[in-house]
Amino acid sequence: MNFIKINNYKPLIFQSIGRLSAQGLGFLLGVVIVRVSGLEIMGQFAKYNALINISFGVFASGLYTNYLRSNDLKLLGQTVSAITIFFLFFLSFFSPLYIFFTGDKITNVILILLSIYFMKLSEVYVVTSRFLNSDHNSVLPRVIPYLIVIGLCLIFKPDNVFFLLCLLSFSWLSIIFFYFKIREKIKLKRSELKQVFCSSFLLSLTTLATQIYANFDQLMIVEILKDYNKLGSYKIGVSFSNLAMPLIGVFSFMYISEIKQLIKNSTIAILKKKFYNQLKINLLVSFSFLVFCICLLRLIISIIYNIDDASASNAGIILSIGVIFNVLSMVFSYSLLAINKDKEILVITLFGALINIVLNYIFILKFGILGAAFTSALTQLIVLLIYIYVFYKKVEFFNVLNIK
């Protein structure tokens, strides 16, 4: 009996190990970049990362979410193909246009685009391991690229962002090895490729809105403050505020993969219990992390990064407040997603994105990077309140389900 119980928790255990390891190593990579290359290069890297996440990353994430929601292994080939098509489009058209209007270096844009392309393929591979009930295979694809790039940074000590991006793209190339192992599962049906594009369109627009208030603040800091060092400090605060997300993400990942089955084969009472338990878990983890940041964040930053920057720690604390609102919103949005309320989610996130852009411009001008942090937290609160209204009053989630 105990063995059966352990087996039931194995998927959660392996997904937790994978997400926590990747987040921890991603955090460690940021520490290595700051200590080896400096805050300015960290800021430059953050700018390029935000730029691609808010463009190519939007469509790749929409396709990823569509694949996750489908719970259908047959869509693997179409999903990988669609992400590759978007990658080639942005490589061929977006990069030259961006360089033409900004005068930036095209090599840097291509390298970060290549890196994020492989990162998105890694995310699709992890979902595939969930569909194959082989969650133990979801750990190494998340971990190995980070181990490689951290090792290379420590050995070669990149002194410019181009060198850093070279190391990053080379490291994430390792995901191809894992796809080679499941190559027989990748079957492309061209007739279904168009359907994958169409079904992920609204999800991509929703992702665009969320990426705006996840990355637009970093681009605005560069444009308004003209200081990569300040962006580097802000990125440190962002990195700390996101440390709680992997654990919450694991539970949310399992929640969205189970919620459709619960709707089909369960009762309202069981569904409500699952929903409210998920809210409690997300609230407990995120609030505990906020308390941790308030008590120890400035000391930890000074020890780990070897810098004494109050703005970085204060930004991290404010952003951690926003994380609480964000992780609660995730439960509402995933539940609405399960009953195909994509349009409602899109409207909410677009409204949040619009608020974020306006408030960022106002508060960054007045308060610098702390203004960006405050804008993020306020945006997440507004979005959460709207989700609560739509979930209970407009959609009436538990009433529209055709179950007892």
- Asked if residue 127 and residue 15 are part of one domain, the reply reads yes
Q: How high is the pLDDT of residue 297?
A: 94
Q: How confident is the model at residue 1 (pLDDT cuts 50, 70, 90)?
A: very low
Q: Does the pLDDT of residue 253 top 50, yes or no? A: yes
- Asked if residue 154 and residue 37 are part of one domain, the reply reads yes
- Asked if residue 377 and residue 253 are part of one domain, the reply reads yes
The residue among 199, 215, 239 that closes a domain is 199
Half-sphere exposure of 340 (CA within 13 A, CB side): 3
- Asked if residue 163 and residue 109 are part of one domain, the reply reads yes
- Asked if residue 251 and residue 157 are part of one domain, the reply reads no
- Asked if residue 193 and residue 52 are part of one domain, the reply reads yes
CA 324 to mean position of chain CA atoms:
15
Q: Is residue 206 part of a domain?
A: no
* 187, 34 Cβ separation under 8 angstroms: no
- Asked if residue 134 and residue 231 are part of one domain, the reply reads no
- Asked if residue 141 and residue 3 are part of one domain, the reply reads yes
- Asked if residue 232 and residue 148 are part of one domain, the reply reads no
Q: Is residue 215 part of a domain?
A: no
Q: Is residue 285 part of a domain?
A: yes
Q: Is residue 46 part of a domain?
A: yes
* 180, 41 Cβ separation under 8 angstroms: no
How many domains does one find in the chain?
Answer: 2
Q: Does the pLDDT of residue 178 top 60, yes or no? A: yes
Q: How confident is the model at residue 212 (pLDDT cuts 50, 70, 90)?
A: confident
Q: Does the pLDDT of residue 15 top 80, yes or no? A: no
Q: What is the largest CA-CA distance in the chain?
A: 65
27-31, 49-53, 120-124, 133-137: which range is least confident on average? 133-137
Which residue, among 255, 20, 15, has the nearest Cα to 135 in the 3D structure?
A: 15
Q: Is residue 214 part of a domain?
A: no
Q: Is residue 153 part of a domain?
A: yes
Q: Quote the domain boundaries for residue 236.
A: 224-404
Q: Is residue 69 part of a domain?
A: yes
pLDDT digits (tens, 9 = 90+) for 114-125: 999 999 999 999
pLDDT digits (tens, 9 = 90+) for 255-264: 776 777 777 7
Q: Does the pLDDT of residue 93 top 50, yes or no? A: yes
- Asked if residue 152 and residue 115 are part of one domain, the reply reads yes
Q: How high is the pLDDT of residue 3?
A: 46
Determine the average pLDDT of the residues in 191-217.
87
- The sign of the CA dihedral 232, 235, 239, 240 is positive
Q: What is the pTM of this model?
A: 0.86
pLDDT digits (tens, 9 = 90+) for 330-358: 999 888 887 878 888 889 988 999 999 99
Distance between CA 23 and CA 42 in Å, rounded?
17
Distance between CA 243 and CA 241 in Å, rounded?
6
Residues above pLDDT 70, as percent of the chain: 95
Q: Is residue 217 part of a domain?
A: no
- Asked if residue 291 and residue 397 are part of one domain, the reply reads yes
- Asked if residue 354 and residue 315 are part of one domain, the reply reads yes
